């Protein structure tokens, strides 16, 4: 498949393109009560729980919507009303998370770097050390504003400590 002169070029970061195989699969209509759909949904739910090492303790409930929709659902579910989040910001998604937290009436502090600069785990450690009230840390893995992959593994190690 090739582009024609009238095809738009999406020059923004992020997974915006869809493969031909995926588009073909989308041509089939699935009803929510179809046995194949139910089995596929169950397989996806079970796989996600296995990946998260949560099969014995949690239930997976798929939700559909934009990335922001999923982030809002996670914050509203996982950050308790009396919790306090550290939001690591280096782009639009980080700023959006702060707005969601404020809208939900939760508390947060921020650690911000420039859009082209990944955060340092040591800086996260310093903020956590200085504020014992922080109960949750939010960081975007791939900030689509710039396409930067943030060092979530290093940040997770600091948070676990």
pLDDT higher than threshold 70 for residue 1: no
Q: Could you tell me how far CA 140 lies from the centroid of its own chain?
A: 6
Distance (Å, rounded) from C-alpha 73 to C-alpha 75? 6
- pLDDT at 13 (0 to 100): 52
From the list 130, 52, 129, 146, the residue with the least C-alpha distance to 92 is 146
The full length of the chain comes to: 161
Residue 129 DSSP class: H
Q: What is the arithmetic mean of pLDDT over 123-143? A: 96
H helical segments located in the chain: 20-25, 35-51, 67-78, 92-103, 121-130, 152-160
How confident is the prediction for the chain on average, in pLDDT? Answer: 89
Distance (Å, rounded) from C-alpha 158 to C-alpha 109? 17
Of 25-34, 48-57, 67-76, 103-112, the range with the lowest mean pLDDT is: 25-34
pTM for the whole structure: 0.72
* Torsion angle defined by CA atoms of residues 10, 11, 17 and 19, in that order, rounded to the nearest 10 degrees: 100
pLDDT higher than threshold 70 for residue 33: yes
Q: What is the arithmetic mean of pLDDT over 143-159? A: 91
Q: What is the arithmetic mean of pLDDT over 124-145? A: 94
Q: Are 115 and 90 in contact (CB under 8 A)?
A: yes
Q: Measure Cα distances from 150 to 51, 56, 91, 130, 136 in Å.
A: 21, 30, 11, 22, 17
**pLDDT tens per residue across span 80-109:** 999 999 999 999 999 999 999 999 999 999
């Amino acid at each position: 498949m090739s582009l024609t002169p009238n095809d738009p070029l999406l020059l923004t970061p992020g997974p915006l393109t869809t493969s031909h195989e995926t588009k073909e699969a989308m041509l089939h209509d699935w009803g929510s009560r179809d046995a194949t759909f139910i089995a596929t949904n169950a397989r996806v739910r079970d796989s996600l729980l296995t990946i998260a090492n949560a099969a014995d303790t949690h239930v997976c409930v798929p939700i559909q919507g934009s990335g922001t929709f999923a982030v809002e659902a996670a914050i509203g579910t996982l950050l308790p009303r009396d919790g306090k989040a550290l939001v690591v910001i280096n782009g639009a998604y980080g700023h959006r998370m702060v707005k969601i937290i404020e809208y939900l009436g939760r508390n947060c502090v921020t650690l911000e770097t420039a859009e082209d600069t990944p955060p340092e785990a040591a800086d996260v450690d310093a903020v956590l050390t200085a504020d014992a009230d922080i109960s949750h840390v939010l960081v975007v893995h791939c900030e689509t504003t710039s396409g930067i992959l943030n060092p979530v593994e290093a940040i997770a190690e600091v948070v676990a400590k």
